[in-house]
Amino acid sequence: MHGFSSSFPHGGPGFGLLLLRLTVAAQLLCGAYAAGPPLPWWQLALPGALVLLLVLGMLTPVAAGLSVLYQLASLTHAASTDAPGMAIAFLTAAALVLLGPGAYAADARLFGRRRLLLPPDPARAANNKEFSIHLGEKK
């Protein structure tokens, strides 16, 4: 395993994971800001921080894991009419933990695979400025 995720798929699967991250963020927002008695700011801070991390794709497995715990806690306190929606939100967040952030996330930039370019003969190239190591290039 490399970084937080073993791979960061791009293309269709990457957009699917982006949609999954946005869906989990929307479910958190809908659950936290649903109609009912207004919650104090400190109870809205955790879902707000998780939504921000999920939308940006930063520390996605951690944010999704905390989202799973938040959704599970909400599920235990939900009314029977809200339980199916909360269960779907819980399962969606759990799927995001297992799948990872995808290529269209800050995690892919921070923890993605890098290509290391080395000269054919490192001993001869040590004094030659023509060869260099590029750690920031993607495949």
Among 53-62, 75-84, 100-109, 122-131, whose mean pLDDT is lowest?
122-131
> How confident is residue 105, by pLDDT bands cut at 50, 70 and 90?
confident
Which residue type is seen at 72? L
Contact status, residue 88 vs residue 5, Cβ threshold 8 Å: no
Helix/strand/coil (H, E, C) string of 54-77?
A: HHHCCCHHHHHHHHHHHHHHHHHC
pLDDT of residue 2: 44
Contact status, residue 137 vs residue 118, Cβ threshold 8 Å: no
DSSP states of the chain: --TT-S----SHHHHHHHHHHHHHHHHHHHHHS-SSSPPPHHHHHHHHHHHHHHHHTSSHHHHHHHHHHHHHHHHHTS-TTTHHHHHHHHHHHHHHHHH---SSSHHHHHHS-------S-HHHHTT-TT----SS---
**For the chain, what is the mean pLDDT?**
78
pLDDT in tens, 5-26: 457 877 888 888 889 999 999 9
Among 53-57, 98-102, 135-139, whose mean pLDDT is lowest?
135-139
pLDDT of residue 35: 53
**C-alpha–C-alpha distance, residues 38 and 84, integer Å:** 23
